[in-house]
Amino acid sequence: MKNPWPTKAVMEQIYKQHLWGGNTFDYYSGEGSHKENIAKPYIETVSDFLKSHDLKLSVCDLGCGDFNIGKELITYAENYIAIDIVESLIERNKALFRAENLEFQCLDISKNKLPKADCVIIRQVLQHLSNTEIQQILEKLKAYKYIILTEHLPVGDFTPNKDKIASQGIRLKQQSGVEILKAPFNFQVKKEELLHEVILENDKGKIVTTLFTL
């Protein structure tokens, strides 16, 4: 599905106009990055996975946003490369967050070559993109050993992967959500493991984090 606005411009507008909330003085990546009942168990779950390896994994965080989540995971990674499409957001993150093993890069993850790493984290990113962009990203993800994917999905039965243009919104209003193992993506993995899910109040769906081993 073709978007009249390039995804980069869409995401820049979202942060500029605070369409995901927050105050008018800083960047804010939405409740999924800040609400304690969503963020805290996610950080604990992913930290446990990263700590479960004898040798620390190198991590590539695709769509790192305001880095409220990523800053809690750095210590458990050998190297942590945080990527976002919004250049001013990346510059802000560089100024705020510093560590020996941390690097920020501004990339369009559907178009640009991605850094090498053991593990990819992609949290509530695909849900905002078109199926074409998702497919382009999935082709790149085949190069990694682990993928930790978080998506906002409806509760109960739904039709996965209805198409949309890149935007602030997600597929929930279409009673849909992204499931990469289903058509049209049919992504191939060796193992799928549910790491965590949070059921949201007021029929707002659930946020599901899955570990895929390739």
Q: Is the dihedral of CA 159, 8, 133, 209 positive or negative?
A: negative
Q: Looking at residue 2, what is its pLDDT?
A: 52
Contact by Cβ (8 Å): 56, 78:
yes
Query: How many CB atoms neighbour CB 133 within 10 A?
Result: 21
Q: Hey, where are the domains in the chain?
A: 7-213
Q: Looking at residue 111, what is its pLDDT?
A: 93
Q: Strand pairing partners for 68? A: none
Helix boundaries (H) for the chain? 7-16, 31-34, 36-51, 87-96, 131-141
| pLDDT by position in tens, the chain (length 214) | 555 457 877 777 766 776 666 776 677 677 778 788 899 999 999 999 999 999 999 999 999 999 999 999 999 999 999 999 999 999 999 999 999 999 999 999 999 999 999 999 999 999 999 999 999 999 999 999 999 999 999 999 999 999 999 888 899 999 999 999 999 999 999 999 999 999 998 778 999 999 999 9
d(CA 159, CA 137): 21
* Residue 184, preceding peptide bond in cis (omega within 30° of 0): yes
The encoded tokens of residue 33 equal 């990055």
Q: What are the C-alpha distances in Å from 70 to residues 4, 34, 143, 188?
A: 31, 12, 22, 27
Q: Looking at residue 8, what is its pLDDT?
A: 77
d(CA 208, CA 74): 22
The terminus-to-terminus CA distance of the chain in angstroms comes to 28
Burial class (CB in 10 A: 0-12, 13-18, 19+), 85: buried
Domain 7-213: give its CATH architecture. 3-Layer(aba) Sandwich (3.40)
Q: How many residues does the chain have?
A: 214
The encoded tokens of residue 138 equal 């999935």
